[in-house]
Amino acid sequence: MFTAAFKSRFEKLTLYFGIATFILHAVIIFLLKLHFLDDKYFPENLFGNPFAALFSPFSSLLVYEVYLLIFYLRRSYTKSVAKQLEIMALILLRNCFKDVGQLTERKISLLQSELLKDMTGFVILLILVWLFYHLEAKRTELKYELTEAFVKLKERLSIFLLVIFFGLSFYSFSNWLIELIKYAENHAVLMDPSHIFYTEFFTLLTFVDVLLLLSSAKNLQNTILVIRNSGYVLATFLARVSFSLQGWERIVMVVIGGVMAVFMLWISRRSVFLEAEKKIE
């Protein structure tokens, strides 16, 4: 599941799935506009505007990004954190297409819409992702030989996380479809599609990160690296908390998590820590 061949096949699968769901989503929307389908069966925020169809292909892209997060977790913790930031940025970007419908139909003003909040969060996170990769490319980290037990632990946790990823994806999507089918009967408020799967996944990812942190504390002699990894865990936790918030609070929490990740990577490479580590050696 972590081979280049599997990665390539999974990439093609998500591409085809994204195209198929986009076409299906768009067809349903246009059938609703032509009154061939009854709109009581479909919530307006997802099927009330043609731009909402763009929500589907971005959802497929996010699935592939989550796979890449797990793929890189077994190789580099820092790289997986970068993928976390990318996922949060893509979630905000995806929400923009869901939010723009009400705005284009003048049902709500820009200042009152979620579009402005999601766009602001996306731009800031994109800048933070750029900073993170810029710092990561420049670092010349001291190399420490990890024990065989720790390497095996990362492998096992990655496999475990991947199995949970596929199972949780199927469960979350199926459960949401059932709620969508029941929507016509009671018009109950559906769970925000942005929260489907990601709330549970980031909860699990936080605990996996803690396990890796506790294990790495025995394998890394460099104290600042342990502190850096602790900051990464906090960044993951803040991303998870953001799914429980709304409005600007949600955006602020996501941005704080991104700033935390960038700051921990930057501070861990300051000369004072590097010099101190060399003296210890």
What are the backbone dihedrals phi and psi of residue 139, each rounded to the nearest 5 degrees, phi first? -75, 140
Reported as a single tens digit per residue, the pLDDT across 142-177 is 555 556 666 777 788 888 888 888 888 888 878 877
Structure token digits, residue 36 = 């061939």
Q: Given a cut of 60, is residue 276 above it in pLDDT?
A: no
Question: Which residue from 85, 73, 77 is spatially nearest to 1, judged by alpha carbons?
Answer: 73
Per-residue pLDDT at 23: 94
Chain mean position to CA 208:
15
Least reliable range by pLDDT among 8-17, 71-80, 137-146, 227-236: 137-146
Q: Given a cut of 80, is residue 217 above it in pLDDT?
A: no
Mean pLDDT confidence for 112-127: 89
Per-residue pLDDT at 160: 86
| pLDDT band per the 50, 70, 90 thresholds, residue 236 | very high
Q: Given a cut of 80, is residue 82 above it in pLDDT?
A: yes
Reported as a single tens digit per residue, the pLDDT across 251-270 is 999 999 999 999 999 988 76
Mean pLDDT confidence for 1-11: 84
Q: Is 205 exposed, middle or buried (0-12, 13-18, 19+ CB in 10 A)?
A: buried
Q: Is the CB of residue 172 less than 8 Å from the CB of residue 199?
A: no
Per-residue pLDDT at 278: 47
3-state helix, strand, coil in the chain (%, to 5): 80, 0, 20
Per-residue pLDDT at 255: 96
Chain mean position to CA 66:
7
Higher pLDDT, 1 or 199: 199
Q: How many CB atoms lie within 10 A of CB 207?
A: 13
Strands (E) in the chain, as ranges, are: none
Structure token digits, residue 235 = 């960044």
Per-residue pLDDT at 262: 95
Q: Given a cut of 90, is residue 40 above it in pLDDT?
A: no
Q: Given a cut of 90, is residue 131 above it in pLDDT?
A: yes
Q: Given a cut of 90, is residue 122 above it in pLDDT?
A: yes
Q: Given a cut of 50, is residue 281 above it in pLDDT?
A: no
Q: Is 240 exposed, middle or buried (0-12, 13-18, 19+ CB in 10 A)?
A: buried
How many structural domains is the chain composed of? 1
Mean pLDDT confidence for 29-40: 86
Query: What are the distances in angstroms from CA 175 to CA 59, 92, 152, 179, 257?
Result: 16, 23, 34, 6, 29
Higher pLDDT, 25 or 175: 25
* % of the chain with per-residue pLDDT over 70: 81
| pLDDT band per the 50, 70, 90 thresholds, residue 73 | confident
Q: How many CB atoms lie within 10 A of CB 81?
A: 28
| pLDDT band per the 50, 70, 90 thresholds, residue 140 | low
Domain that includes residue 182, residue range: 4-280
Per-residue pLDDT at 272: 53
Report the C-alpha gap between 194 and 198 in whole angstroms. Answer: 7
Enter the pTM of the model. 0.85
Report the C-alpha gap between 105 and 208 in whole angstroms. Answer: 44
| Residue partners of 76: CB distance under 8 A and separation at least 6 | none
Mean pLDDT confidence for 132-138: 88
